[in-house]
Amino acid sequence: MSFDALNLNEVLTRALKSAGYEEPTDVQSAAIPPALAGADLMVSSRTGSGKTASFMLPALTRVLASRQAAVKTRGPRVLVLTPTRELALQVAKAAMDYGRYVPGLRVATVVGGVPYGAQLAALRGPLDILIATPGRLIDHLGSGKAQLGHIEMLVLDEADRMLDMGFIDDIRLITQATPATRQTVMYSATFGGHVGRLAQELLRTPQRIEVSSQTEAHADIEQRLHWADDFEHKNALLDHILTERSMEQALVFTSTQRDADWLADRLHEMGHRVASLHGGMPQGRRNRVLQGLRSQHLRVLVATDVAARGIDVATISHVINFGLPMKEEDYVHRIGRTGRAGRTGLAVTLAERRDSGMIHRIQRYTTQRIPMAVIAGLEPKRAEPKPPMRTDVRPGQRPAGKSFGPRPGGKAPFRPAGKTFSKAGPRARQG
């Protein structure tokens, strides 16, 4: 399909040309026509698939239609809710990029962690598109500063994540402040459980669009798994990977904010251009760090899951899981930060024995085995852990999906004697 077949307004196709896009991505071909027709949608599409444009182009089409009708209203016509500030800023940037030729386009973001003043001024003035995280928008609704009475289109981006973060009541309150006649478009990796129930509550006869599941995704991303004997070994593996010549920029994930700061300090001492990014940092500093990453001033970013959502930097060549995610879905979100915009990427997971349960859950979730790799001189001493016993399967019942037995070929090689690792990590410090 070409962009012409989507019958978009000329000012939008011109912007797509300036962005260098030649044809719509799968999710854009599937979602844009029904969205333009005003349908409610439930969309699952992997991160990096071009999903932002799949809702932003229909949203901008509405804005253009209102320009022609010359109706003046207070408050925005389009509201996009996102789980994190980073994603909100990313979506706002996409709105400005795709809407660069829309006359007088007014986009505002309302996110937590920044002063209220500028947001209040933006909410007072005329507005087309509002992009918000639920918590801060609730504050502005409570004080009567945000007007949602003219919303024509509501987008819930990464709805599963918003529910995981406990935003369900906020989302309900916000939608109640919008007209029942609105169009609602919901994006989520899955629509089971509470996400499905919320969709039933908020959407009217929605169309379900599923473009590529987590199982088919990530063809452009090479995945590798390194088993580490202990924390020092894991640090040594990381240090080696960060010196690989193919590495342009790396995003290193830790499980906690504290680990992110600790690891960034350690890498800084080693001479890397590195910073940490997590939810405990003031927004101004987070913005500066992201700017440093985009301008390539930083070569390594050490981040937690929530903070890294929405990072879209094409030069990230490596994603390294230094600490494993809490949930298997997050693995998919993490590795999707590389291999973007037509490039290839490498996603390396460093796991200790105690991580083997999560590794197996990830493999079951993606129905792919992460290929095991070793670095010469840094081979693990211990054999690869066996898959854990399934406790969710009754006797006589076969587990669903693929099983991931030990790798054919037997034991992992031994690490040569004499290699010592002296750097103490946070666990050593904690005792």
User: Among 41-49, 295-303, 374-382, 394-402, which window interacts with ligand AMP (CB under 6 A)?
Assistant: 41-49
User: Among 44-52, 69-77, 151-159, 405-413, which window interacts with ligand AMP (CB under 6 A)?
Assistant: 44-52
Sequence length of the chain is: 431
Q: Counting beta carbons within 10 angstroms of the beta carbon of residue 323, is it exposed (0 to 12), middle (13 to 18) or buried (19 or more)? A: buried
51 makes contact with ligand AMP (CB under 6 A): yes
25 makes contact with ligand AMP (CB under 6 A): yes
Separation between Cα atoms, residue 163 and residue 140, nearest integer Å: 20
User: Among 51-59, 190-198, 251-259, 275-283, which window interacts with ligand AMP (CB under 6 A)?
Assistant: 51-59
225 makes contact with ligand AMP (CB under 6 A): no
Q: Given strand 129-132, what is the order of strands in its sheet?
A: 107-110, 129-132, 78-81, 153-156, 183-187, 41-44, 207-210
183 makes contact with ligand AMP (CB under 6 A): no
HSE, CB side, 13 Å, CA atoms: give it for residue 141. 19
Find, among 79, 123, 132, 126, the residue nearest to 103 by Cα: 126
In the complex, the smallest distance separating the C-beta of residue 174 from ligand AMP, rounded to whole angstroms, is: 22
> Considering only residues 13, 29, 44, 49, which one is a binding residue for ligand AMP as defined by CB under 6 A?
49
Q: Write the interaction track for ligand AMP spanning residues 309-348; mark x where CB under 6 A is met and - where it is not.
A: ---x---------------------------xx-------
24 makes contact with ligand AMP (CB under 6 A): yes
Find, among 155, 315, 176, 326, the residue nearest to 246 by Cα: 315
State the sign of the Cα–Cα–Cα–Cα dihedral 126, 132, 134, 140: negative
Q: Write the interaction track for ligand AMP spanning residues 52-91; mark x where CB under 6 A is met and - where it is not.
A: xx--------------------------------------
Q: For ligand AMP, how many residues bind (rule: CB under 6 A)?
A: 14
What letter would DSSP give residue 380? -
* Interface with ligand AMP (CB under 6 A): 21, 24-25, 28, 47-53, 312, 340-341
